[in-house]
Structures are given as structure tokens and as C-alpha cells.
Amino acid sequence: LAKTTQPISMDSYEGQEVNITCSHNNIATNDYITWYQQFPSQGPRFIIQGYKTKVTNEVASLFIPADRKSSTLSLPRVSLSDTAVYYCLVGDYNQGGKLIFGQGTELSVKP
Amino acid sequence: GAGVSQSPSNKVTEKGKDVELRCDPISGHTALYWYRQSLGQGLEFLIYFQGNSAPDKSGLPSDRFSAERTGGSVSTLTIQRTQQEDSAVYLCASSLRQGAETQYFGPGTRLLVL
């Protein structure tokens, strides 16, 4: 499974847009890009998944350039409750369901 | 509907004792996964079950760890002769099927080995 690299931590303020970029230079043709969110003392929660271009749902947007070697999770107008660890994962889940988590990005949203 | 549930929520045990951790997946989900998260660390895959297929045990750290899934539903993770380094949060997840599907995680079992 492709290795991912993302910033260890980020700070933001309420109301700002937050963009977290993940590098995955060795992504394979069949790999999808998935982001999970984890609050303290809870299990991770699926946010968004994409293969190419742009995906948007009620929570976030995911931007994937044509070469797919990176992806950017965009959180519009964050609030204090968005303070969490965000994980970027890459894998061909049709071949194996296990998720390989990296370090994640610890996002801290301040008032 | 009900999410993934795990029990116990917390477990304190003495080194050398055996422990059993239970996971109830979402009804109808055929795939079930176990992960481990040590303090301040990311999540580490342990094992997963898909339907009646042989489980993928590639993530189990030692032969002291084993897991069963009975009747395609409830799963039990057993750790024999626990060691202090086994202290972690053990997370269970389920998905509708193996593949590019969302995995739904339970709240975890916090294991402390003294």
C-alpha cells in the first residue's frame, strides 16, 4: 500500500478554511484516497474518499491533481469541534480491506 | 441504526493474564477489522475477516494474539499472557463488504496491563 506523508500538526482559527495536503508519490492505478477524522477517545470516522479530480460532500472537499501524487482535504469554515486528527490513507481496498494509517495531522482550531 | 459496539470499554489486567475483547459489528456488515492504537501513536492493523474467507492475520504482532468471528457476526480478540507493551486502545471496525467501502469504527477498548 502506498505510503503517505502529511504535516504532523496545523493550527487554525474558527471560521477559516483549512487545507491539509497529503503526499502519496507511489500511488498505484487502482488505489483510492480516503480521509478519516479521529476525535480524542473515539474511533476514526470516515470523511471523504476520491479517485481523481474533485469530490465534495456535506463535510469536506477533496482535491486530487491529475498525477494523483498528492491530495488536499479542504474543510470550509472550521469550528472548535473540528479539532481532531486527520488521516490520509491510500489503498486498493478491493484487494484488501485493511487500512494503513500514517501519523495523521493534528488540527487545532482556536477561537 | 446501532453502530459498532465493543466491550469492555476499559480493562485493567495484570501482566501474564489472558484477556478477551469483544466486538459487535453493524448488522449486515460482512467485513470486520481489528486495529490497535498505542498512546500517542497512529492506528495499527491487526486482523480482518471477510465473510467465510480465511482471515488476514498479517498484522498480529505475536502468536499471543488471536481472533475469532463466530457466525459471521460477533468477534473476539484474545491476548494470552499479556505484556505491558500490549497496553493500548483496541479498535474494531466493520464495513458492508471488503473493498472501497467506509469502515465504521467502534469506541474501542482501553487495555492497561500492569
Which one has a higher pLDDT value, B95 or B39?
A: B95
* Measured CA distances, B61 to A24, A99, B21, B36 (Å): 26, 16, 16, 10
Chain A residues with beta carbon closer than 8 angstroms to that of B96 = none
Q: Cβ contacts of residue A69 below 8 Å, gap of 6+?
A: A23, A24, A25, A27
pLDDT in tens, B65-105: 999 998 878 999 999 999 999 999 999 999 887 665 688 99
Distance CA B9, CA B107 (A): 8
- By Cβ distance, the residue of B42, B56, B104 closest to A101 is B42
Q: Do residue A98 and residue B33 have CB atoms under 8 angstroms apart?
A: yes
In this structure, which amino acid lies at residue B89? V
pLDDT of residue B10: 97
pLDDT in tens, A53-102: 999 999 999 999 999 999 999 999 999 999 999 999 988 766 666 777 88
B94 touches chain A (CB under 8 A): no
pLDDT of residue A103: 85
Q: Cβ contacts of residue B41 below 8 Å, gap of 6+?
A: none
B25 touches chain A (CB under 8 A): no
Distance CA B20, CA A8 (A): 34
Chain B residues with beta carbon closer than 8 angstroms to that of A47 = none
Residue B47 forms beta bridges with which residues? Answer: B34
| Minimal C-alpha gap between A78 and chain B (Å) | 23
Query: What is the side-by-side strand order in the sheet with B65-69?
Result: B5-7, B19-24, B75-79, B65-69
b vs e for A31-45, b when ≥16 Cβ sit within 10 Å of the residue's Cβ? bbbbbbbbeeeebbb
